[in-house]
Amino acid sequence: MNCYGRRLRRTGPEQLNSRNDLVSSPQRSRVNGWSLPLHTFQFVALLFYTYLAIVGFGIYIPLLPHGWKYAAYAVIGVLFAHHLVAHLVAITIDPADQNVLAKKNYSSPMPVFDRGKHKHVIQNQHCYLCEVDV
């Protein structure tokens, strides 16, 4: 398509004979956010959260006027505690569907998806990796 002298980018279906027809699977299935190996973003998020706590509670709040300090400590403290609890709950929960949980074996390696057999992992509400309806 040509629009004002520029060609628009179009997306199309993936080529079935591409170099990544078979995707190598990880050796172990991850249960939740605590499963090893941890992702790099988990370390970055923890460092960033710690940095914000140190800067907020150690530098910014002490610079406030005396009457505002206790309110700021209470409000920011409750927000930080709420975020920490919500974050810990989110990474502890196994996000798998109940049908997948019934059949899932965490000690075995993840199955390899063959794009030659199926175009997508999930088609018509059926997962071809787990062999369950989702």
Integer Cα distance of 121 and 101 in angstroms:
17
pLDDT at 48: 96
pLDDT at 10: 55
Output the pLDDT for position 27. 60
Reduce the DSSP state of residue 19 to 3 states and report it: coil
Rounded distance, CA 2 to CA 8, Å? 7
The pTM of this model reads 0.58
Q: What pLDDT is stored for residue 49 in this prediction?
A: 94
Residue 88 corresponds to which tokens in the numbers above? 């810990």
CB atoms within 10 A of CB 130: 20
Q: Which neighbouring-strand residues pair with 122?
A: 127
Please choose, from the candidates 132, 127, 123, 133, the residue with its C-alpha nearest in 3D space to the C-alpha of residue 103.
132
The predicted structure's pLDDT at residue 17: 54
Q: Report the DSSP beta bridge partners of residue 133.
A: 126
- Extract the residue ranges of the chain whose pLDDT is less than 70: 1-29, 104-106, 108, 110
What is residue 57's predicted lDDT score, i.e. its pLDDT?
95
